[in-house]
Structure 1
């Protein structure tokens, strides 16, 4: 979704409202914003665009207070809870929608798997978590959302300057996309963070990774499921997906030798060999013991234990698990995507194995 995946993780919104109330009455248009107009002149000079054209479109962008509310962290964030997070996505409505999506687009999914090496179930999982297979792609004008975050990002955020700079880059890319594809900048629709289409790509990712997978001569991540499928697979391949490698293995511990602090220090970045994990108290199954490459111990909290929450869950993540987190920098997101895809795949296999009724 983003120009760089680590930023993408912070702006992907997997459950978003799409009703008319998203567009709150704007305070003003950015034509009256000195910094916005200076930025417009910089973009024009840097990319060889007509200054008046850039000023006109950035000036038409409206500040949307709802975007600023949605981007802000909650005042009292709840403790992370993998079980609750999982229930949002691995549930009957999404699984059945995934089955229908796979049935309708099985050829494109099979072709993407063959071309990029990314399993069809993983693509199905990502599109299902991101937008429920196109049901919730967002209805904000992307021009407004990006301008609001580029020029009015909340200063209370500890990384406000860096985040504002990021969204300025995405705004510039939106204008370049619009020019290249002959689409008025105000016509793009997406999430409050500016992500678009079935896979929720940000403008930079759209330009870097989106592909014309249906061969109609244009890239359409909103109206072409085939383009969305091919683009998700291309994205993951570009970020290092290795065909045939599992995403994770189960984790069990030898409590007497477990060195949890050392194992969790690198977070989700694969950093330990099989031998090192075993020496630090991790018990691996036979498949994991045969793994070639580095691994990570991934911890997922299940609420606050002091408030009655369950103990954390753990998996052993591979380089492919880390690749999934490049789409959204969250181990919770990655495992939800993986498990949704696996659930849909199992349901599909069960349906296909049923005997067909005879006349």
Structure 2
């Protein structure tokens, strides 16, 4: 069953076709200066932060004194407020440019090494959850280059900045980040982690798969059986957790992610197919009735399909017929460009790994 997306990753908030967001930010509403570091803006004395600490401590059965003490150590980070901003309005989407960032030699080589080193866990995850190794490998490669770029922001600071001083100029997501900050403290308490020591992205995503705290708490698994779900250092836990996440969102064992498609020449028919965006909504027969052409394999697909459009700047768009599994990948990051990058990186890694055995 297809489920609504859960926020998980920094890419969910920031990757927009390979373009860096603009440096736009307003400062924090009020400042509390730390005696130990006068140049730092901290949150310990703000009344709204103190009230929040009491609220989440009661809601999540956390020690109130500990919660207040942790939040008093959180610092406002201007870079976080800048990086969370969207790209400039009117920035053209370009699948070819986005693709080139991820399907490139360095990432493919690292993916082959990751696959060979952890093949046992990839096979075990496929057996348990039905998710092929190339999809898991594709996600970890796109997210963090197999752990090489997991982010160096203090997650406590990033989430506090976005919880208490979310910048103007885009849709306010204060409530979302306050929920994630609470989930982060729950995670640290259950895993025995010092909240001030955990590092991640500017949006608070963590580890090789860049899970947001709520997803860590819900989907992370102790795949290697050592008593902890460690998404920073345990490749086994990372592999199992990514596969578990996709399975929970409805991954269909043995189903392709997409098929080739030729779109109808009639603009009205094309508009009908594009209407639901990436949500699979049409049977293969309905695709054909609306003027699209599908290969025989796609015509036999037992479920619904979505016409996925990938814009290429000034060039003609690319199209695929996405299946339910394509849609599941977008629950990890709500972007068809992201899903195609994951799929194509995984395929490239699989091809090189097979050819060089």
TM-score (norm 1): 0.89
Stretches (4+) displaced over 6 A: 14-17
Question: Hey, what's the Cα distance between the residues in 2 that align with 1:339 and 1:26?
Answer: 45
Find the residue that maps to 1:94 and give its secondary structure: helix
Provide the secondary structure at the position in 2 that maps to 1:297.
strand
1:68 aligns with 2:81: yes
Instruction: Decide whether the 8 Å contact of 2:8 with 2:215 is kept in 1.
Output: no
Mark the CA change 1:289 to 1:75 in structure 2 (over 3 Å): closer, same or farther: closer
DSSP-derived class of the 2:356 partner: helix
Q: CA deviation at 1:95?
A: 0.4
Which of 175, 180, 200 does residue 190 from structure 1 map onto? 200
Match of 1:146 among 144, 156, 159: 159
Structure 1 pair 77–127 and aligned structure 2 pair: CA distance change class (3 A)? farther
- 3-state DSSP class of the match of 1:299? strand
Q: Does 1:327 align with 2:328?
A: no
Q: What's the counterpart of residue 5 of structure 1?
A: 6
Residues 59 and 10 (structure 1), Cα distance of their counterparts in 2 relative to 1, 3 Å cut: same
CA distance in 2, matches of 1:258, 1:89: 34
Q: Mapping of 1:47-58 within 5 angstroms? A: 47-58=60-71
Q: Provide the secondary structure at the position in 1 that maps to 2:309.
A: strand
Measure, in 2, the Cα distance between the counterparts of 1:185 and 1:203. 12
Unaligned runs of 5+ in 2: 21-37
1:300 aligns with 2:310: yes
Compute the displacement of 1:12 (Å).
5.6
Tell me, yes or no, if the aligned pair for 1:122 and 1:337 is still in contact at 8 Å: yes
Residues of 1 paired with 2:197 and 2:88: CA distance?
33
- Tell me the alpha carbon deviations over residues 181-200 of structure 1, each in whole angstroms, 9 at most, x when there is no partner: 11111111100000000000
Task: Report the equivalent of 2:24.
Answer: none
2:189 match:
179
Question: Following the alignment from structure 1 to structure 2, what is the Cα–Cα distance between the partners of residues 208 and 16?
Answer: 31
1:219 Cα deviation (Å)? Answer: 1.0
Rounded to whole Å, the distance in 2 between the matches of 1:43 and 1:90 is 42
1:265 counterpart (265, 272, 275): 275
User: How do 1:223-234 and structure 2 match up within 5 A?
Assistant: 223-234=233-244
CA contact (8 A) 2:19 2:87 kept: no
Residue 155 of structure 1 and its aligned partner are, at CA, apart by 2.5
Instruction: Give 1:26 shift.
Output: 6.2
Look up the match of 1:337: 342
Q: In structure 2, what is the equivalent of residue 357 of structure 1?
A: none
Among 115, 124, 129, the residue aligned to 2:128:
115
Listed as ranges, the gaps of 5+ residues in structure 1 are 18-24, 304-308, 353-359
Shift of 1:11: 2.3
Q: In the TM superposition, what is the alpha-carbon distance from 1:27 to its structure 2 partner?
A: 4.6
Distance 1:33 1:333, change over 3 A: same
Report SS of the residue matched to 1:31.
Answer: coil
Deviations 1:105-153 (A, max 9, x none): 1111111111110000000000000000000000110000000001111
Distance 2:174 2:267 in 1: 46
Q: TM-score normalised to the size of structure 2?
A: 0.90
Alignment of 1:1-359 (within 5 A): 4-5=5-6, 8=9, 10-11=12-13, 27-76=40-89, 78-157=91-170, 159-160=171-172, 163-255=173-265, 259-303=269-313, 309-352=314-357
What is the match of residue 33 of structure 2?
A: none
Instruction: Kindly provide the CA deviation profile for residues 165-215 of structure 1, in whole angstroms up to 9, marking residues without a partner as x.
Output: 010011001111111111111111100000000000011100100011111
Asked if the contact 2:263–2:293 (Cα under 8 Å) also holds between the matched residues in 1, the reply is yes
Q: Distance in 1 between matches of 2:346 and 2:356?
A: 15
Residue pair 2:115, 2:122 contacting (<8 A) in 1 also: yes
| Rounded Cα–Cα distance in structure 2 between residues aligned with 1:342 and 1:82 | 17
| Structure 1 residues 254 and 148: alpha-carbon distance in aligned structure 2, compared to 1, 3 A threshold | closer
Deviation at residue 271 of structure 1 after TM alignment: 0.4
Q: Secondary structure at the match of 1:315?
A: strand
Q: Secondary structure at the match of 1:269?
A: coil
What is the distance in 1 between the residues matched to 2:223 and 2:43?
36
